[in-house]
């Protein structure tokens, strides 16, 4: 039985097809679903084991990146989301999806059932859209999606509001609970493309089942996605055709298979 993934989309979402492909490559059954089909109960979230919120510019990022989709989810899908989380299912938010998860309060999460925003993804310190490939360092964390992943990962970023920032107590909590999943490999611009606190590029909740990150793993599924793939073949002497991002989706699928 293939795990079922719901890939949420709405106006302005533009990485849904890539995310769909990523989960299909990983062995899942996927469905691209507009949020109105969940709100109207035409589609039931309980029928799926993984919820993916892809990148893009949901609702044009009016007011702030991801905020309108977050408000819509928080106030129209509260019960469905709470039940999904309570059932131990998986959620991943990429770029705009990470912004949504933070603004709903699903990340970094809390000990209460009430969804409250405790961090944000603010405008890049460069005050401009940043689009480049960057080096990441994998951190020790309970994150289901990064189990066994390489210590150093190379993924592209493309965002204007990617600066993860939070009050000191929340940052301390993230460190204490090992909730930081990825950091930019070096501090300072341009290695840290947005000026995130503590060079944070991705976090999970305390269970490791909810994961958000600014870089785009769905854009590096195969070696040919790498901007210098021909040189890598020559220098790394590897026959692997997988890109650094694919394992993130495989881990999610394998986790569900093991827990069905």
Q: In terms of pLDDT, which residue wins out, 30 or 61?
A: 30
Q: What is the pLDDT of residue 67?
A: 93
pLDDT > 90: percent of the chain: 86
Q: Is the pLDDT of residue 114 over 80?
A: no
Cα 235 to chain center, whole Å?
A: 30
Instruction: Give the span between the Cα atoms of 99 and 213, in whole angstroms.
Output: 9
Tell me the β-bridge partners of 236: none
Catalytic residue among 15, 18, 159, 216: 216
Checking if the pLDDT of 230 tops 90, the result is: no
- 216 is a catalytic site residue: yes
pLDDT, tens digit (0-9, with 9 covering 90-100), for 159-192: 999 999 999 999 999 999 999 999 999 999 999 9
For the segment 100-113, the average pLDDT, to the nearest whole number, is 85
Domain borders along the chain are 4-259
| Candidate list 72, 130, 161, 218, residue with the active-site label | 218
Q: Using an 8 Å Cβ cutoff, are 238 and 256 in contact?
A: no
Angle between helices 16-25 and 246-259 (to 10 degrees): 60
Active site residue 218: yes
What does residue 148 show for φ and ψ, rounded to 5 degrees? 70, 10
Residue 232's pLDDT is: 64
CA 243 – CA 203 distance, rounded (Å): 21
* List 15, 72, 95, 130, catalytic entry: 95
Cα separations (Å) of 238 from 133, 146, 229? 21, 21, 11
Q: Which residue has the higher pLDDT, 155 or 231?
A: 155
- Predicted local distance difference test score (pLDDT) of residue 36: 97
Query: Active site includes 95?
Result: yes
- Which CATH number is 4-259 given? 3.40.50.880
Give the model's pLDDT for residue 112. Answer: 53
Nearest to 96 by CA among 183, 145, 160, 181: 160
Summarize pLDDT for 43-87 with one digit per residue, the tens: 999 999 999 999 999 999 888 889 999 999 999 999 999 999 999
Instruction: For residues 190 and 184, give the distance between their C-alpha atoms in angstroms, rounded to a whole number.
Output: 10
Cα angle for residues 167, 103, 190 (degrees, 5° grid): 65
Report whether pLDDT(111) > 90. no
Residue partners of 139: CB distance under 8 A and separation at least 6? 178, 180, 181, 182, 183
């Amino acid at each position: 039985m293939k795990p079922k993934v719901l890939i949420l989309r709405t106006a302005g979402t533009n990485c849904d097809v890539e995310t769909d492909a990523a989960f299909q490559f990983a062995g899942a059954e996927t469905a691209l679903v507009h949020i109105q089909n969940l709100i109207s109960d035409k589609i039931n979230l309980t029928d799926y084991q993984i919820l993916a919120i892809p990148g893009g510019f949901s609702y044009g990022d009016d007011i702030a990146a991801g905020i309108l989709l977050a408000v819509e989810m928080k106030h129209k899908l509260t019960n469905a989301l709470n039940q999904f989380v309570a059932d131990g299912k998986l959620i991943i938010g990429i770029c705009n999806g990470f912004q949504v998860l933070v603004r709903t309060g699903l990340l970094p999460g809390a000990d209460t059932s009430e969804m409250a925003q405790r961090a944000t993804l603010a405008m890049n310190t460069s005050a401009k859209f940043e689009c480049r490939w960057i080096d990441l360092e994998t951190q020790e964390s309970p994150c289901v999606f990064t189990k066994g992943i390489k210590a150093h990962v190379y993924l592209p970023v493309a965002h204007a509001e990617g600066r993860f920032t939070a009050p000191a107590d929340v940052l301390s909590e993230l460190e204490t609970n090992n909730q930081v999943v990825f950091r930019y490999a070096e501090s300072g611009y341009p290695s840290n493309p947005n000026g995130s606190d503590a060079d944070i590029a991705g976090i999970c909740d305390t269970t490791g089942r909810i994961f958000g990150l600014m870089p785009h793993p769905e854009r590096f599924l195969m070696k040919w996605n790498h901007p210098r793939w021909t040189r890598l073949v020559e220098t790394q002497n590897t026959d692997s055709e997988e890109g650094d991002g694919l394992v993130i989706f495989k881990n999610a699928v394998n986790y569900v298979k093991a827990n069905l």
